[in-house]
Amino acid sequence: MIEKLMNWLGYYKKSKRSDTYRPIEYRQFEGEFDCGDLLLEKMTEGNNFLRNRSKEDYECLGMFFSIVLMVEHKLVNLLLRFDPDIESKMFGQKVDVFKDFLKAYEPSEDDDMEVYKLLIQPLSQIKSVRNTLAHDIKSPLFTSKDINQVISYIKQRRPDLHKKYKDCNDDRGVCIGALASFVFIFSFEIAKLRISIA
């Protein structure tokens, strides 16, 4: 009865972690078995996904993750006093804390909150691409279609920057141009917020 009352009031009894796994099944070998070929097969499984990428693919990935790290760095600089644990959080969690920060932020008269809120969509899309690339080795590189909200944001906010990369022959160039432009704009807006808080 007390447990039901506590649950009704919002106090939940924390359950212990109860992961259940299937039992490990072991291979059965009859007589002597040369495991060399099987070992080689298991050892190289998945390598073809990496082998099939070009130098340009790796450069694009490196630039993308450098941009993500820069965005994270800017978020940490802004949010450290708001959330002292921000440095240990994952990228998506940092974006969520940024959303909470914007809800709590009280702008001055000449501060337009909509400018800051418009950063959320592109950030969420960057987070989505980052998660796909970071957690799925089979995932191909992203394209400009995968960051269409980032490109749309730049086109509306800074058409001058959009013009510089929009006609690029290589889709990777469009992607990196868009992401670099976004980080430039993002850095400016974060700096404005940082100036207004202690």
Distance, CA of 137 to chain centre: 15
How many CA atoms within 13 Å lie on the side-chain side of 123? Answer: 24
Residues 6+ apart with CB under 8 A from 185: 153, 154, 157, 158, 161
112 Rama sector, left if φ>0, alpha if ψ -120 to 50, beta otherwise: beta
Residues 6+ apart with CB under 8 A from 122: 147, 149, 150, 153, 182
Q: What is the pLDDT of residue 5?
A: 57
Of 161, 177, 197, 189, nearest to 71 (Cα)?
189
Angle between helices 171-196 and 55-79 (to 10 degrees): 10
Environment class of 118 (CB within 10 Å of its CB; exposed 0-12, middle 13-18, buried 19+): middle
Q: What is the pLDDT of residue 186?
A: 96
Residues 6+ apart with CB under 8 A from 197: 81
Q: What is the pLDDT along the chain (198 residues), one digit of tens a residue?
A: 666 656 666 665 555 666 788 888 888 878 777 778 888 888 888 788 778 888 888 888 899 999 999 999 999 999 999 999 999 999 999 999 999 999 999 988 888 899 999 999 999 999 999 999 888 877 778 889 999 999 999 999 999 999 998 888 888 889 999 999 999 999 999 999 999 888
Q: What is the pLDDT of residue 168?
A: 87
Q: What is the pLDDT of residue 72?
A: 96
Q: What is the pLDDT of residue 7?
A: 62
Distance, CA of 77 to chain centre: 17
